[in-house]
Structure 1
């Protein structure tokens, strides 16, 4: 078992409250990863957690019910990527892209419009971490 690391999978009710992102969450189970696979990606188990995606805004990239692994050390927007964010006390898995005006929040599903968070409102956007792995049922 020493070759494996266990990462907590939190329940879907993580969006309530204004405290730490997981204040009102409970651990449903732990996901098992080989330490080698995490180390190969530059990840440390102590800085990881997982949550489930809810909704269709990130389809076809992420589907409702998919699980994403969050690297909590990556809270700065580094290029374009999928991040778990809190905005208006709700958690979202969205593609983020810096722009001259602030940050663009982008859904993969074209039925959803981009949202721009202007520079003066950036304090309202909390980056929980970058999504580094995803899995779901086919």
Structure 2
């Protein structure tokens, strides 16, 4: 995410007070809670509790997923049942960007498209 295009918008009351940045959602892996075009509000964190939803970097891709720290390993879980869990291996390039603390529809942000 460090290399991606960054844009600044006035979001007023749409973002929770603790928000550090927003991420546009693309895809259906986190439906029914998050949909393509939604903006997830992120609080920067280096670690998350088991079961929290966050933004993650894994081997060149960025994901919004639920973190599961199980006895047999760490997994990134989709809310949409049609997607399989992704196991994070010790050899993987993995980073936690932060915790999802809210969302809004992209259409609610003036000038956002």
**TM above 0.5, one fold?**
yes
Q: Can you give the 5+ residue segments of structure 2 that lack an aligned partner in the other structure?
A: 108-113
Q: Which runs of 4+ in 1 moved over 6 A?
A: none
TM-score in terms of structure 1 length: 0.68
Q: Which has the higher contact order (CA 8 A, sep 6+)?
A: 2
In terms of fraction of residues, the more helix-rich structure is: 1
Number of equivalent positions: 106
Deviations 1:72-102 (A, max 9, x none): 1x22021211100111222111111111232
Which protein is bigger by CA-based radius of gyration?
A: 1
TM-score in terms of structure 2 length: 0.81
Q: Can you give the 5+ residue segments of structure 1 that lack an aligned partner in the other structure?
A: 1-20
Instruction: State which of 101, 108, 118 in structure 1 corresponds to 2:72.
Output: 101
C-alpha separation in 1, matches of 2:102 and 2:22: 9
C-alpha separation in 2, matches of 1:108 and 1:89: 22
* C-alpha RMSD over aligned residues: 2.1
